[in-house]
Each structure stands twice: as structure tokens, then as C-alpha cells.
Structure 1
Amino acid sequence: MNITLTFRLGRNTLPTETEQLHDLWRVARLLQPLGFPISRWYPPADTPEHSLLNPAFDDNGPAPAAVAILKAEMQALQTPWRRDTAVWNGTEGPGGVVCVNALSVDPYLPNCTLRLNAKRVDALQDTRNVVTVVQGLLQIWQARTLEVAPIRYQTRMKVFPDRPGAGWMLYVPTVLTVQQVPEAATLLPVMGQPRKQAGTLIISVADAPFSADNPDHVRIANRIEVRLVDQDLLPRYADQ
């Protein structure tokens, strides 16, 4: 299952490496109640074995070694307008989770992303758990869109390749009503500041995990996408 969140920094310079890793630490804290200890996240390295030598976080935030690794990578790349960083939970295959945060202050490519890829994680097959994680992510970043779907749905099965897909869940920064999206199983308001609704989380299937192998699930998600486009409520990636 993939969660993909898009946002913009709203500033002309990248945050520090410590600040970027701190946001990923906040993501790790969201996953901690689901069985992912905060001390078992690791920065990338040339081999999995080398990665496991350096925990990315401790209880208070990013570990100094992880910050140093990210700084060294950025000095080698010399790309002051863009920085990608990632952490993983040290598990390859089923049960593995990778979080990738890509930041940009390039005026021609201003979109930033947070991607969370989970491979057969039982806790993330529960609608309530996924909603809790999504709501937490929307408190970290002011999202332009957020998608929750299997990667096969995102890459091959959504209706509009140039727009976000409904998949299992889709956040749009628009207040929606049931009349506007009758195909959705649930619409959840997402609150911003100060106590004002910032957008809506559309849940296509509420009583089971979304499956790209289930024609009914795919049909519902596709209908939601068409419904939103007909009302000019589903932006193109290029327009975000």
C-alpha cells in the first residue's frame, strides 16, 4: 500500500537536514502504535547491512549520525534547490516500510512529496489505522493532495494518469458533500487552522482494505475520479 502526499514549502530555501529528518521522525511516531519502534528506523546506505548500523531516530528526534549522513550526501550532490531523504524499518519484503521525503525550491518544479510504501503490513490493512496515519500526515504538511492506494492501482488502473487517483483514500483541499461524491463510502472533514475545514478525505471502501484485484473496488474508485473531474474538483499534477 502506498501513501503519496504532495505539498509545497512556501519558502525560497530548503529546511535544514535536521528539520527534514525531524518531519520523518514525526511520521515514524505515527507508525509507532502500529508496531514500529522509533529506534528501528534507518537511513539509506550502500548496503542494507551498513544501513542497519545507524538508527535514524531516538526518542527525542533525529540521531546525529543520520543527520551527518544526509549532510554528506548533499555536499556530494551539490543540489541546493532539491533534497531527497529516506528512512526504512530495516525489513525487506513483507512487513517492510520505506518513507521518502523529496523537497524542492525549484520555481519550475516546486512540488514536494512524502511517499510511504508499506509491503503487506497487517496493521495498515485496517481502515481506522490508515485514517489515523493519514490524519497525522495532514497535520505535518499542508497537503495539496494525498492518495492511498496499491501501487498497481496508482500506475495502471486509475482513470486519469495525469491526476491523483481515488484508490482507497483521497484527500483534496476542498470541502465536499455527499451529494458531490455519492459513490464514496465515507467523507471525513479535515480541519485546518483556526478550526476551519481545510479539505475532505474521501474513502472509497470502508469495510475492507482496498484491493486492486477486486473489480468492485476499482469500479468505485474510478467512478469517484470521474465524478470529481466532471465537477472540476480533481486537479492535474501539473496544476498543483
Structure 2
Amino acid sequence: MNFTMVCRFPSQSLTAEETYEEAARWVKRLTEVGPEFRDWWANPLSPEDHFVAFSDRPAIVSRLRGENDDIGEESSDASPGAGNGILLTNAGNEKDWAKKGKVSLSIEPSAGDLRFGISGAEKLYASPVDIAWPLLKALVSDSRVTLAQTNVKQRVNNELLLYSVDRAPFPHREFLGWMGYLPHVLNSQQVPDAARLERLRSGTLILSTPLLDLSDPQAIKQANQVEMSLVDLDLLPVIDPDLM
């Protein structure tokens, strides 16, 4: 299974230097989860390019400036820093990256969006939830996060499925997925099907099911029931009225 955690926070326009500092704060939180999340690299931008260590601040900032200049040339009304975002990986070459789960960290301050992904989690960890839950807690420890959700992609009977598209009960609403965070205090009476609820800051971490296996009808049903309870509480907003 591949999973992607998405965190939403207020959007902001940052300079290249500010984008680096923003990314450094997220990286520090992940580093505290485990050594496999200590070192990060920026991907090559072309076949002739190379991986750049995130620890090389001048090189990363220079790259961010160059990307922002390119966006400015393409759009005359682009504000300074509007295009700044950064994509990092947990290895400095393709071979090691594949061995380490192709972990990726994408941060887009201008969109207020962070995405953290791991591929083949069940091959790397005997119990994927034991690494995913601490990762979620680390990311949501940022007080700006207003929503977190975890999507799962998995091949089932030679068909590639994505929970939010193929298994979520409300395609027109935000989803929670495998696990996530909402800025509301919740209890087991309100969300009785949740495998776990944990208070964090002024909200609640929610684990829908111990493992969201898209080939397991019971796991899908449990995740769906959790989202139905959240909709009953009016906590998963409509994002596409055309799908209602």
C-alpha cells in the first residue's frame, strides 16, 4: 500500500529564504519520528541535474529562487514568492530512494498544502500504523494545521485504486481516509467506529481503522462509517457541489 498524508494550513506567500525555513521546520518534526526521516534531498529538475542535499541551504535557496523567477517570467501578475514550493525525498539517488519507500515531502506554502507519502509501507514496516500514527502526530503538532487526511493507493485484482476516488462514501466532500486530524474535540460516542481517538491541541487525531486495506471490505466499511459520523457532525465540508 502507498499512503499520502495531506495537511492543510493557511496559505502564505514566502520568499525563497522563508520557504527554506518553512521546510526546515517540517523536516525537524519528521526527524523526531525516526532516523529514516533525518536526511532529505531535492529532486533533480532535469535528466542532467542532480539531487541536492537539503542541508545545503545556499544550494536549495538558489534553486528556489530560480524556480520562482521562471514562474515570474511566465506570469506577469505573479507576486514575489507566489510560486515557491519544495519537493524533497529521503534519499540522494533513485536506487536508495526505491529501497527506502520512495518517501516524499511536498510543501506548497502559497496553497497552504503539505503532502507526505510513503510507497510500499507494508513491505517496510510490519505494522504500518506504528509509523504512520507518529508521523501524523508530528505533522499535526504544527498549530497552523486545520485539517489532515490520509489517502491510500493500492493495487487490488490488477486495478489501481485510490481510497478518496474509489472507496470514499462522499466524493463531493473532504475525506478523512485512513487517519487524520480535525480541529474539534471528539469522543467515542460521536465517532463510535473509530479505531482510535486522541486529543491533540484543540482538536482530535482520528484513526479510522488499524489498516486501511482496499481489498478488505470490513476495513473499508469501518473507514466509511467514521466519515459518515463526521458528516453527521457537519465536520467534512462539501468541496465539489457538482458531485452531490
Task: Mark yes or no: TM-score above 0.5.
Answer: yes
Alignment: residue pair count: 216
Aligned mates of 2:47, 2:8 — CA distance in 1: 28
Q: Distance in 2 between matches of 1:112 and 1:124?
A: 33
**Contact 1:44/1:87, CA 8 A, preserved across alignment:** yes
Q: Report the CA distance between 1:125 and its aligned residue.
A: 4.6
Distance of aligned partners of 1:130 and 1:212 in 2 relative to their CA distance in 1, 3 Å threshold: same
1:93, distance to aligned residue in structure 2 (A): 7.2
Amino acid at match of 2:103: V
The reply to whether residue 202 of structure 1 matches residue 203 of structure 2 is no
1:22 aligns with: 21
Please tell me whether residue 180 in structure 1 is matched to residue 190 in structure 2: yes
Structure-1 residue corresponding to 2:59: 65
Deviation at 1:141, TM superposition (A): 5.0
**Secondary structure of 2:149's partner?**
strand
Q: 1:127 aligns with which of 129, 144, 147?
A: 129
For 1:66-145, what aligned pairs fall within 5 Å after superposition?
66-78=60-72, 79-80=78-79, 81-90=82-91, 91-92=97-98, 95-104=101-110, 111-121=111-121, 122-123=124-125, 125-140=127-142, 142-145=144-147
Is the CA contact 1:99–1:115 (under 8 Å) kept in the aligned structure 2?
Answer: yes
- Kindly provide the amino acid, as one letter, of the partner of residue 84 in structure 1: G
Distance 1:28 1:92 in 2: 20
CA positional deviation for 1:213: 1.7
Is the 2:68–2:83 Cα contact (8 Å) retained in structure 1?
A: no
Q: Name structure 1 gaps, 5 residues minimum.
A: 105-110, 192-197
Query: SS where residue 69 of structure 1 aligns?
Result: helix
Please tell me the residue identity of whatever aligns with 1:190: L
1:137-183 superposed Cα distances (whole Å, 9 cap, x missing partner):
11235222101231311232111223232321121111111111001
Per the normalisation by structure 1, the TM-score is: 0.79
Output the amino acid matched with 1:199: G
What is the distance in 1 between the residues matched to 2:114 and 2:143? 9
Q: Is contact 2:136-2:180 (8 Å) kept?
A: no
Which stretch of structure 1 is more off in the superposition, 161-170 or 30-39? 30-39
User: What residue in structure 1 maps to residue 216 of structure 2?
Assistant: 214
Identity percentage of aligned residues: 25
Q: How does 1:29-48 map to 2 (within 5 A)?
A: 29-32=28-31, 33-36=33-36, 38-39=38-39, 41-47=40-46
Residues 61-104 of structure 1 deviation map (CA, whole Å, 9 limit, x = unaligned): xx210111011110111132343221112314761111111122
CA contact (8 A) 2:148 2:176 kept: no
Question: Given that residues 208 and 222 in structure 2 are in contact (C-alpha distance below 8 angstroms), is that contact kept between their aligned partners in structure 1?
Answer: yes
